[in-house]
């Protein structure tokens, strides 16, 4: 009977795995590239696994970092809320120890510096402030606060030139320029540089943030500095 069994015509053709072109050939890749891929298959697989591991590691690191920052912030909040001075200082130390490198830890280090400053231990305060400065990021919002603290500590430690360095840095921070000008004028006055002090006070008097009452006091100070010294 010609034509054979009709059912055989509808029978799907079986795939000969041995003769079937590979996936690389189906992608129409150049023969040289196909050869290179096959020769380096193991290395490429290892590279792919490495990439996957790096992706997972990066994701975990982001999660870990965010979680660490949250814990640090919560611990700092508890320290700030503590009303007993000695216990509060211990909490600040704990934050700095448990969460090094975080903004909360740096803030806690600054607070320890403030305590030393309040006790009149200016070298100890400077030590804390300088440690924070070395770890502080260039865009940290703590920078103007730290520079102001460093200036005050140096000024009270009678290191006036160092104090001026940090007071001048305040000029570039919005909201801190006025304080920087007034502090610079005060230091220049202590150094006997009256004309330079007057210049700083004059600049400060033009700042919009200066309250009217403070401006009146500053104007009186400037007039006194301008007045000739009477000779006996």
The structure's pTM equals: 0.68
Report whether 192 contacts 209 (CB < 8 A): no
pLDDT of residue 65: 61
pLDDT of residue 152: 97
CA distance 143 to 130: 12
| Triad 125, 110, 177: Cα angle to 5° | 95
Classify residue 43 by burial, with Cβ atoms within 10 Å: 0-12, 13-18, 19+.
Answer: exposed
pLDDT of residue 76: 85
pLDDT in tens, 17-43: 343 445 555 556 667 666 666 666 666
């Amino acid at each position: 009977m010609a034509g054979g069994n009709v059912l055989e015509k509808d029978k799907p053709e079986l795939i000969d795995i041995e003769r079937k072109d590979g996936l690389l050939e189906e992608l129409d890749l150049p023969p040289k590239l196909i050869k290179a891929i096959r020769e380096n298959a193991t290395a490429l697989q290892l590279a792919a696994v490495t990439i996957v591991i790096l992706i997972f590691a990066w994701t975990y690191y982001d999660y870990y970092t965010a979680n660490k920052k949250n814990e640090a912030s919560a611990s700092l909040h508890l320290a700030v809320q503590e009303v007993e001075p000695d216990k509060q200082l211990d909490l600040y130390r704990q934050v700095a120890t448990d969460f090094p490198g975080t903004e909360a830890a740096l803030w806690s280090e600054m607070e320890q510096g403030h305590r030393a400053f309040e006790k009149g231990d200016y070298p100890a305060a400077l030590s804390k402030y300088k440690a924070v400065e070395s770890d502080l990021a260039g865009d940290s919002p703590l920078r103007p606060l730290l520079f102001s603290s460093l200036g005050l500590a140096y000024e009270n430690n009678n290191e006036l030139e160092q104090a001026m360095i940090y007071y001048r840095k305040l000029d570039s921070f919005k909201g801190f320029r006025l304080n920087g000008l007034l502090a610079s004028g005060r230091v220049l006055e202590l150094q006997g540089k009256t004309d330079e002090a007057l210049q700083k006070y004059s600049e400060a008097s033009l700042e919009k943030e200066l309250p009217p009452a403070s401006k009146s006091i500053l104007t009186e100070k400037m007039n006194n500095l301008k007045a000739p010294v009477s000779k006996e």
